[in-house]
């Protein structure tokens, strides 16, 4: 099991705050980005894909999910740390899984293996 340097309890910033290079969600995160930033990035990508595949608007999804369309917009932009209730309501409304699970960490490993040091 991998140990994260940020494994101590702390208050993480929103995922977008950890961008080293690129435009959200096509970004490289900083080396010091916590695990929550990687999950937020992967979730934003999965949510964008699911919305496009469902051919629905943010307002329509928000109404079906019982979640503000502005909250969904903030999730897509990496400007909020999501809670599990919001994820559950959005997944149920879309009929698609958006929680990335451990797959979210693939970019962290890929960046480490490539020696990517952008933003340092």
Q: Say if residue 120's pLDDT is above 70.
A: no
Q: What pLDDT is recorded for position 119?
A: 40
Degrees to nearest 5, angle at CA 17 with 82 and 104:
55
Q: 3-class secondary structure for 71-91?
A: HHHHHHCCCCCCCHHHHHHHH
pTM: 0.83
Domain membership flag for residue 86? yes
Domain membership flag for residue 83? yes
Largest pairwise CA distance in the chain: 43
What is the 8-class DSSP label of residue 22? E
Instruction: In whole angstroms, give the CA distance from residue 61 to residue 91.
Output: 10
Domain membership flag for residue 88? yes
> Which CATH number do you get for residue 89?
1.10.260.40
Domain membership flag for residue 24? no
Q: Say if residue 4's pLDDT is above 80.
A: no
Domain membership flag for residue 17? no
Q: Say if residue 72's pLDDT is above 50.
A: yes
What residue numbers bound the domain in which 93 lies? Answer: 46-107
Instruction: In whole angstroms, give the CA distance from residue 43 to residue 31.
Output: 19
Domain count, the chain: 1
User: What is the average pLDDT across 31-52?
Assistant: 95
Q: Say if residue 78's pLDDT is above 60.
A: yes
Q: Say if residue 114's pLDDT is above 80.
A: no
Pick 111 or 78 by higher pLDDT.
78
Domain membership flag for residue 64? yes
User: What is the average pLDDT across 99-106?
Assistant: 92
């Amino acid at each position: 099991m991998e140990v994260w340097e940020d494994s101590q309890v702390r208050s993480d910033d929103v995922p977008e705050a950890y961008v080293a290079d690129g435009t959200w969600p096509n970004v490289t995160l900083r080396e010091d980005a916590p695990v929550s930033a990687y999950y937020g990035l992967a979730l934003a990508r999965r949510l964008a894909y699911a919305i496009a595949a469902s051919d629905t608007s943010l307002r329509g999804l928000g109404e079906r999910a019982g979640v503000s369309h502005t909250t969904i917009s903030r999730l897509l932009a990496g400007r909020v740390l999501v809670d599990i209730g919001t994820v559950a309501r959005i997944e149920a409304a879309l009929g698609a899984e958006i929680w990335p699970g451990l797959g979210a960490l693939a970019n962290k490993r890929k960046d480490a293996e490539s020696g990517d040091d952008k933003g340092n």
